[in-house]
Amino acid sequence: MHPYPKNGYIHKNHLNNIGMYLTKEVKAEIFAKHGGDATNTGKSESQIALFTFRINHLTEHLKKNRHDFNTERSLVKLVGKRRSLLDYLKKTEINRYREIIKELNIRK
């Protein structure tokens, strides 16, 4: 008996048994904590918090897999997106910017 499905497709998480790192529950928790509500996904603080969570995960992945250049590129793009949101927040509402920087321990 073959351990893989008949169609031959194996989801990558089945190979390393780690599961998805960013589930619906985790996203809802991040948005509830930083956006005020689990459905408020557009607020700058909630997006910055989500990007920070993803950046931390990718950073840990790259520490183990140094030659994963596609992930490295994704990480750089995410950091740029987060930087753009932080610049916008800094320009419009400096107090919210200072709070999110302090709360997430982001370097300036």
Determine the Cα–Cα distance for residues 58 and 63; give it in Å rounded to an integer: 9
Query: What are the tens digits of pLDDT across the range 68-95?
Result: 999 999 999 999 999 999 999 999 999 9
Q: What is the arithmetic mean of pLDDT over 22-32?
A: 89
Q: How confident is the model at residue 23 (pLDDT cuts 50, 70, 90)?
A: confident
Q: Which of 54, 96, 101, 45 is nearest to 79 (CA)?
A: 54
Q: How confident is the model at residue 15 (pLDDT cuts 50, 70, 90)?
A: very low
> Which pLDDT belongs to residue 51?
95
> Which pLDDT belongs to residue 39?
83
Query: What are the tens digits of pLDDT across the range 33-53?
Result: 988 888 888 899 999 999 999
> Which pLDDT belongs to residue 20?
73
> Which pLDDT belongs to residue 97?
94
Helices (H), the chain: 12-16, 24-35, 44-64, 69-92, 94-104
Domains, the chain, ranges and CATH?
Answer: 20-104 (1.10.287.10)
